[in-house]
Structure 1
Amino acid sequence: MKKLSLLMLLMLAFVACNDDVKKEAVSEVKPKKAPPVEKEYGFVLNDFEVVKDTIEPGDSFGYILDKHGVDRGKVYEISQKVKDTFNPARIMAGKRYMILKKKDSARTPQYFIYRNDKINYTVVQIGDSIRAYTKKKPVSVKKREISGVVTSSLSEAMQKQGLSNLLVYELANIYQWSIDFFKLQKGDQFKMVYHEKYIDDTIFAGIESVEAAVFKHADKPFYAFEYEADSVTGKPSYYDEEAKALQSFFLKAPLNYSRISSRYQKRRFHPVQKRWKAHLGTDYAAAHGTPIVTTADGIVIASSYTSGNGNYVKVRHNSKYTTQYLHMTKRNVRRGQHVKQGDVIGYVGSTGLATGPHVCYRFWVNGRQVDPYRQNLPTAKNIDKAHKEAYYAHIEDLKKELDSIPYKNI
């Protein structure tokens, strides 16, 4: 009996051992899980050796490609062939780029991809054939409704709700002629219906538009509705519930500034030249690189550089009004170019006779330099009678939507 029991135990052990061997054999032939397919900029990145980096101050297109085995002759050939689409001399520090290389022993670079901004990018084909093209990442637009209340500042009200500070600039631009945002009161309330942009449905890429807003300041509601009243320009403006324009012919300032560092005055001690002289402009202090916009529609009559003005742009708006913008780090328009109110014409810098980053804004009326804050400037046109019915029909549901959003309280 003992022998039989021992035999059965040996048989069980053999079967168990055999099962383990089978399991081990099965696990050995189990296929490896393929890596997830990674796509970006229209390429399957798995097919390439990928280099991701950021342009550093002093880097040039040639220096970057040279580091990755592209000789100077080839760099020159690429630069000449793609300059109409992509100017290698204008790559900027801080911009991201990607190089896609062949998966061969030479690791030969095939593509240089330059990210112009969050949405736009340029692909430079640098392999056997050379060409360049600019494309956009897929962007979706999502509608949002918000309500907020001011406790100390508009920025703080946005931050408390986890909202982008870009909305502060949007509201400031819409209401700059109706509300003094430096004199907001505790308890002021606002509501907005707006659209946000997202890359690949997940990455926030900015504000697409503000469709409607109401700002209750000192217990008075100020409504604003986006509407394209001028089909010629195709540019929408903002009007209130009575079809009156909220915007002016001129913007109040050429940028979102932190403070006015020096006003128009006939006698001021110049901080660089160390002498008393007239200051016939308004200085707006702002961070280096802040976009500068034209305050009204017009034609660029100068985009140049002088030792005093630094990089500057001058815009003629009509036969009566001209404006000028000084000390830019970079100009964004050329002479003869038509610009619309709010178009970016340059970026804040400290070129020329300047001690820090700011823009000096100058204003001419009939050829005479004046203080814009002392002028009775024209306002934008209200919606005319012939189009009011269409406007009221357009805002009817928007106003109901705004009014249905509850106000937030302190």
Structure 2
Amino acid sequence: MAKNRHATLTANKKTAPQWRNLHSRILSLLLKLTKIEAAILAFAVCSVALGLGNSLQSDPSTASIEEVIESSKTEDTKSPINTDRTTIALALPSQNSIPKTDTEQAAYYSQAKFTIDSNTVQADFSPAPLSQPASPKSVAAAATAEQSSTAVKRIHQTLKKGDNLSMVFDRVGLNARDVYQVVQSGNEGKALTRMFPGEKLEFVLGENNQLEQVIRVKSPLESIHFIRNIAGDKTYFEINRVTRTADIRKVYRSAFINDSLSLSAQRADVSQSITMNMANIFGGVIDFVLDVRNGDQFTVVYEEHYLDGEKIDEGNIIAASYSNRGTTYNAYRYTDPDGDTGYYNEDGVSMRKAFLRAPLDFTRISSSFNLRRLHPITKVVKPHRGIDYAAPRGTPVFSAGDGRVSASGRSKANGNYVFIKHGESYTTKYLHLHRRSVKKGQRVKQGQIIGQVGCTGLCSGPHLHYEFLVNGVHRNPRTILKKLPKAKRLNANLKAEFMASIESTQLQLASYSSHIKLASAQ
């Protein structure tokens, strides 16, 4: 028995230098392995670990590392070593950490874990202790780590001044190839290169920051999705337009005028856009600077759009009324069978005249139409063939009527200017603009913004110089409107349909206006 113990100790002493020799043989061989061979080794070590350990202890010369690798290859993997090499980091156990008994060694080697990626194969011979199973916390942490590695990321970007598409993609961590693939998806892809500051993009990134989707948010109700697809070895982006429908709520507002329409509407919680639309509706019958008086009353019914319970914007004015100097003007929205939409009074007469009485919301008339005016800068008596409307710099200027832009440019005297031709007989001119918003040849609608009030050219202060020509002859814009063609009137059949469609709105509008008057009287 003593002899047996002595033989075992002697065998163990011989094993130690054999393990050290094995280390150096493994390291020298691993540097020659290809990626395929490295993966095979990782698989093979686990499966033959126990047999390898026993065979080395009994007879180290019976099996070499080369033979183990070669024997584990399939016919498909027995290929010559190529130049595409990988690095293998193998964390071998120290001599003192190896279990002594065969049973413990079998369990030890069977728990060895291998991590393989494109560049590295790692064998980890440091598993959790046999007597301690993985804790619930470690299992949960591993699950969380696995989920986070494949989690989808959404990144929102708003274009800033000076941005181009490549810069936005670069901020998200994407490269020029991603930009090219998205832009090549069609006309919508090319349109991404013509976006403006303030527009929004959303990026959806998958595993390894791979671009899965680009979403162009055109409005809360409309977005364009560029979705990644793969056909064979080709990657392309498919376009999907997504639209949503908003909930529409009807809103009533009414107020008395104490100073100006804008300020009174603001106090009544009416937005600037609704106020401007209301002024355009009544712009053919009311001059909202010269005609407005304290005590005037307006009532407006309009739409508000909601999405997921939140207000996103305002819609159309359904109906409006304005009482001025004892006369009440009513306007109702109506779309005829041809699809043309306009506002009509209760008699079926269009509220829209051929031209607006004033092409902007101005503060005052600083200079009237005068054929013998002393010029404030040159001090020379010269005809003033238009009206000067004083207004803050940047105030929107509207086209007085439908037409086509005949000129849009800049000169020393006129500064920035826009000329609009309305049919064969009429022309309107807009001078000293801060900024022009239309180009020559462009068609415009009545009420469309064509520029902003400024003080360019020969100018003593921010204002709009407005001219009105009939057959090439200058006319006074304040008086010529009375001589222009009358507004459109619905025929008998359309009028009957129109009257039926506005019946309930008429009652609601009158009722709401009455309540406001009663409340004010109390």
Q: TM-score scaled to structure 1, two decimals?
A: 0.69
The alignment's C-alpha RMSD in Å is 4.4
Partner residue in 2 for 1:184: 292
Output the CA distance in 1 between the equivalents of 2:392 and 2:160: 20
Output the CA distance in 2 between the equivalents of 1:359 and 1:73: 50
Is the contact made by 2:183 and 2:189 (CA closer than 8 Å) also made in structure 1?
A: no
Instruction: Evaluate the alpha carbon distance shift between residue 63 and residue 158 of structure 1 in structure 2; reply closer, same or farther with a 3 A threshold.
Output: same
1:70-112 deviations in Å (ceiling 9; x for gaps): 445764675566556654554333x14233141333x244444
Q: Quote the sequence identity (%).
A: 28
Shift of 1:399: 2.2
Is the contact made by 1:258 and 1:285 (CA closer than 8 Å) also made in structure 2?
A: yes
Output the CA distance in 2 between the equivalents of 1:275 and 1:92: 45
Partner residue in 1 for 2:516: 407
Say which SS state the counterpart of residue 248 (structure 2) adopts: strand
1:300-328 deviations in Å (ceiling 9; x for gaps): 445x5445567765443211112345547
The yes-or-no answer on 1:173 pairing with 2:277 is: no
The yes-or-no answer on 1:100 pairing with 2:203 is: yes
Shift of 1:143: 1.5
Partner residue in 2 for 1:49: 153
Partner residue in 1 for 2:165: 61
The yes-or-no answer on 1:254 pairing with 2:359 is: yes
Output the CA distance in 1 between the equivalents of 2:477 and 2:275: 24
Shift of 1:236: 1.7
Partner residue in 1 for 2:402: 297
1:180-199 deviations in Å (ceiling 9; x for gaps): 43343333333333322234
The amino acid that maps onto 1:205 is D
1:51-79 deviations in Å (ceiling 9; x for gaps): 33433322233322233344457646755
Q: Which has the larger radius of gyration?
A: 2
Instruction: Trace 1:212-291 onto structure 2 (pairs within 5 A).
Output: 212-228=319-335, 231-232=337-338, 234-239=340-345, 241-258=346-363, 269=375, 280-282=385-387
Say which SS state the counterpart of residue 169 (structure 2) adopts: helix
Q: Which residue, 316, 320, 324 being the options, matches 2:421? A: 316
- How many positions carry a matched residue from both structures? 363
Output the CA distance in 1 between the equivalents of 2:223 and 2:366: 37
Instruction: Evaluate the alpha carbon distance shift between residue 259 and residue 76 of structure 1 in structure 2; reply closer, same or farther with a 3 A threshold.
Output: farther
The amino acid that maps onto 1:294 is S
More strand by share: 1
Is the contact made by 2:199 and 2:217 (CA closer than 8 Å) also made in structure 1?
A: yes
1:92-139 deviations in Å (ceiling 9; x for gaps): 33x14233141333x244444444455555555689424667655532
Shift of 1:234: 1.0
Output the CA distance in 1 between the equivalents of 2:186 and 2:303: 36
Instruction: Evaluate the alpha carbon distance shift between residue 136 and residue 91 of structure 1 in structure 2; reply closer, same or farther with a 3 A threshold.
Output: same
Output the CA distance in 1 between the equivalents of 2:220 and 2:395: 17
Shift of 1:205: 0.4
1:334-386 deviations in Å (ceiling 9; x for gaps): 72x554333x3544275964878766544332133444223133331233455
Shift of 1:172: 1.6
1:172-229 deviations in Å (ceiling 9; x for gaps): 22222333433433333333333222344422402x2222233233343322222345
Shift of 1:390: 3.5
1:127-171 deviations in Å (ceiling 9; x for gaps): 942466765553222112333333344344434443333332233
Output the CA distance in 1 between the equivalents of 2:463 and 2:217: 27
Is the contact made by 1:325 and 1:362 (CA closer than 8 Å) also made in structure 2?
A: yes
Output the CA distance in 2 between the equivalents of 1:385 and 1:233: 18
Instruction: Evaluate the alpha carbon distance shift between residue 357 and residue 220 of structure 1 in structure 2; reply closer, same or farther with a 3 A threshold.
Output: closer
Instruction: Evaluate the alpha carbon distance shift between residue 215 and residue 374 of structure 1 in structure 2; reply closer, same or farther with a 3 A threshold.
Output: closer
More helix by share: 2
Instruction: Trace 1:29-44 onto structure 2 (pairs within 5 A).
Output: none
Shift of 1:291: 5.2
Is the contact made by 2:217 and 2:224 (CA closer than 8 Å) also made in structure 1?
A: yes
The amino acid that maps onto 1:223 is N
Q: TM-score scaled to structure 2, two decimals?
A: 0.56
Output the CA distance in 1 between the equivalents of 2:217 and 2:397: 22
The yes-or-no answer on 1:138 pairing with 2:267 is: no
Output the CA distance in 2 between the equivalents of 1:352 and 1:90: 29
Q: Which residue, 468, 488, 491 being the options, matches 1:381? A: 488
Output the CA distance in 2 between the equivalents of 1:125 and 1:156: 48
Instruction: Evaluate the alpha carbon distance shift between residue 26 and residue 83 of structure 1 in structure 2; reply closer, same or farther with a 3 A threshold.
Output: closer
Instruction: Trace 1:64-143 onto structure 2 (pairs within 5 A).
Output: 64-72=168-176, 75=179, 78-79=182-183, 82=186, 87-88=191-192, 90-93=194-197, 95-105=198-208, 107-116=209-218, 119-123=221-225, 128-130=235-237, 136-143=243-250
Is the contact made by 1:298 and 1:315 (CA closer than 8 Å) also made in structure 2?
A: yes
The yes-or-no answer on 1:340 pairing with 2:445 is: yes
Partner residue in 1 for 2:72: none
Structure 2 runs not aligned, ≥5 long? 1-134, 145-149, 230-234
Output the CA distance in 1 between the equivalents of 2:436 and 2:240: 24
The amino acid that maps onto 2:353 is S
Output the CA distance in 1 between the equivalents of 2:410 and 2:181: 34
The amino acid that maps onto 2:300 is M
Instruction: Evaluate the alpha carbon distance shift between residue 257 and residue 80 of structure 1 in structure 2; reply closer, same or farther with a 3 A threshold.
Output: farther
Output the CA distance in 2 between the equivalents of 1:294 and 1:191: 26
Is the contact made by 1:321 and 1:366 (CA closer than 8 Å) also made in structure 2?
A: yes
Partner residue in 1 for 2:132: none
Output the CA distance in 2 between the equivalents of 1:185 and 1:220: 12
Output the CA distance in 2 between the equivalents of 1:137 and 1:312: 41
Shift of 1:333: 6.3
Instruction: Evaluate the alpha carbon distance shift between residue 186 and residue 314 of structure 1 in structure 2; reply closer, same or farther with a 3 A threshold.
Output: closer
Output the CA distance in 1 between the equivalents of 2:228 and 2:464: 40
Output the CA distance in 2 between the equivalents of 1:392 and 1:293: 31
Shift of 1:287: 6.5
Shift of 1:250: 0.9
Say which SS state the counterpart of residue 207 (structure 2) adopts: coil
